Structure 1
Amino acid sequence: MEYVRAFVAGGLLCALAQLAVDRGKWTPAGVAVTLVVLGVFLGFSGAYDRFAAWAGAGATMPLSGFGYFLAKGVVSEPQPRGLMETGAAVFRLVGALVAVMVAGSFVAALICKPKG
């Protein structure tokens, strides 16, 4: 049942984003930024914690999950003082995620051949 909840939650988030691009006047970049910012706000409020507990990977894989992890890095840090400590707290949880994405993109670029 956990897989079904993750599939439904992630699918609905992605379907809503795609509908905003196809039917609305949104650009893909606007939708991406909105999802990240929404994830940050919901992460700070604690609402995304409950959603992520229910949906599992379906809540953490879309761009809103990236914003949630940015907020969670700041919230988990005990009283960051100043801009530098806050920035470090933001990327404490997200740093590994970004490293995996960069490494995966590099491997995909080595394996795949461009058309043209």
Structure 2
Amino acid sequence: MDYLNAFWVGGLICALVQILLDRTKLMPGRVMVMLVCSGAVLGFLGIYEPFRDFAGAGAGVPLLGFGNTLYQGIRKAVDEDGFLGLFMGGFTASAVGISAALIFSYLASLIFQPKMKE
């Protein structure tokens, strides 16, 4: 049942974003920022954790999960370091994921030899 919940929740999030992109004049970058900010707001309100427990990877993989990760990191760093944690927490919490994305995309570019569009 966990796989099914992850599939339909993640698919619903992606479908709603696609509808938003198709039916409005919002640029993709703005929609992505809205998703990240929504994840942080849902984390702040205490809604994201029960949502992620229900949906699993369907809620954790899209950009909502990244926004919540940033919020959790900032909250933890502010609790430990005070005001300075506002500037450190997001970097600390998301460093592994961002580093992995950069490393694996670089390795993929070495394997598949991408070319510029003409």
Matches within 5 A, 1:1-116: 1-77=1-77, 78-83=79-84, 85-115=85-115
In structure 2, distance between residues paired with 1:74 and 1:49 = 16
Moved over 4 A (4+): none
Q: For each residue in 1:40-94, what CA deviation from the matched residue of structure 2 results, as whole angstroms up to 9, or x when unmatched? A: 11111110111111111111111111001001112234243123x2222222221
- TM-score, normalised via structure 1 length: 0.89
Question: How high is the sequence identity, in percent, across the aligned residues?
Answer: 40
| SS in structure 1 at match of 2:81 | coil
Kindly report the root-mean-square deviation, in angstroms, between the aligned alpha carbons of the 2 structures.
1.5
Which deviates more, 90-99 or 43-52?
90-99
In structure 1, distance between residues paired with 2:102 and 2:113 = 18
Unaligned runs of 5+ in 2: none
| SS in structure 2 at match of 1:42 | helix
Unaligned runs of 5+ in 1: none
- TM-score, normalised via structure 2 length: 0.88
